[in-house]
Amino acid sequence: WLDVEGATWDKPNFPQTDQHPAVCVSLEDAQAYAAWLSARTGKTYRVPSEAEWEYAARGGMSTSRYWGDDAAQVCQYGNISDAAAAQAHPDLRKEPTRLMACRDGYVYTAPVGKFVPNPFGLHDVIGNVWEWTADCYTPNFDGAPTDGSAWQKDCERYVVKGGGWYARNWFNRAAGRSREYANAAMGTLGIRVVRELD
């Protein structure tokens, strides 16, 4: 990983168009965007809790991924670290847990909606980019809220979900999770917002 001076959501140091997910977005940026969208529309938008994100990603399924438990099918359903990435970046072959043997056709982010959606009609919930949640990261769920709200205790880092184009293969599932500092802004990290219903 390198710090890229001047990298932003619209110039992340790899090809992007308006059809790609926004990346290089910190949690602070995501929250500011949700606040702006709320003010502009008169509706309430926010970053989802981890529980909300996972519920949406599963699409009503109880399997590890919305298409089932077979991780090898991932290239039909999401943009992940695969043979295309290994071809573009041969050093990745030294890290076998970072690569799937399939080929999804994208080295970096894929345009939104290129893969099969989940049963709720959501695209790219597994793979493409990690997505922020409002939850403080904890290594387990002991004492976590049981009502779907965000865990807001002892925040040093926040939970990110979904895996992505550069994630190790075990992260590319509904329960996969990692952690980042709120000010982290990387080419692998983006957002998905929820709208509260009236």
Instruction: State residue 49's pLDDT score.
Output: 98
Give the chain's mean pLDDT. Answer: 92
Q: What is the DSSP string of 125-137?
A: SSSSSEEEEEEEP
Task: List, for residues 173-182, the tens digit of each pLDDT value.
Answer: 999 999 999 9
Instruction: State residue 135's pLDDT score.
Output: 97
Q: For residues 49 and 149, is the Cβ–Cβ distance under 8 A?
A: yes
Task: List, for residues 54-105, the tens digit of each pLDDT value.
Answer: 999 999 999 999 999 998 899 999 999 988 888 888 887 887 777 888 899 9
Question: What gap in Å lies between CA 103 and CA 84, rounded to an integer?
Answer: 6
pTM of the model: 0.92
Instruction: State residue 147's pLDDT score.
Output: 95
Confidence label for 131 from pLDDT (cuts 50, 70 and 90): very high
